[in-house]
Structure 1
Amino acid sequence: MDTLSGEITTRELRSQLSDVLGRAMYAGERIGVTRNGKLAAVVVSVEDLEALEAFEMAQDVAAYRDAKSADDGARVPLEDLRAELAS
């Protein structure tokens, strides 16, 4: 990931948790946590998480608006849907 400030193993994280949290909280760093050599998690600030959630919500709203504008009003009865899924 190009947006990571650095990486740390889970073993190192245990002994450096306070430092890692401080780097995320105050410096805005994104620290990757690796396990068995593979990226397992990322420590990010609350601000980054809130920004990600706002972005996801905006995408959901846009998708809803697109779906609503494309709705032609046609509906399928539940019985027909069940029959189609059963076959």
Structure 2
Amino acid sequence: MSTVSVTAARSTLPELIERARTEAVFLERRGKLEAVVISPEQYQRMVEALEDAEDAAAFDDAMADEGPNIPWDQVKADLGWE
């Protein structure tokens, strides 16, 4: 992980993109973090991890809901699988 000023990033964009292939590059303006440059592969992994976490949370919420259990045989019949 490294930090680069926005001004420096403008003049070294090709090198910054190359560095982002192996590490996150933080862009800073006036001492404040403004953005992060990462590789498309890392971005995709992060999106997938977030989606997995959201799915797990939704599953946990659904399992916590109280309600009648439906027997598997009835579910199959309702879906026309029998």
The question of a shared fold, defined as TM-score above 0.5 by the shorter chain, is answered with yes
For the residues of structure 1 that align with 2:8 and 2:51, how far apart are their CA atoms?
Answer: 34
Moved over 4 A (4+): none
Identity value in percent? 31
Name the structure 2 match of 1:9.
Answer: 5
Equivalent of 1:54 in 48, 51, 54: 48
Equivalent of 1:35 in 29, 32, 56: 29
Name the structure 2 match of 1:20.
Answer: 16
Structure 2: gaps spanning 5 or more residues: 68-82
Q: TM-score, normalised by structure 2?
A: 0.76
Instruction: Answer with 1 or 2: which has the greater Rg.
Output: 2
Segment of structure 1 superposing worse, 64-73 or 11-20: 64-73
Structure 1: gaps spanning 5 or more residues: 74-87
Q: How many positions carry a matched residue from both structures?
A: 67
For the residues of structure 1 that align with 2:37 and 2:56, how far apart are their CA atoms?
Answer: 28
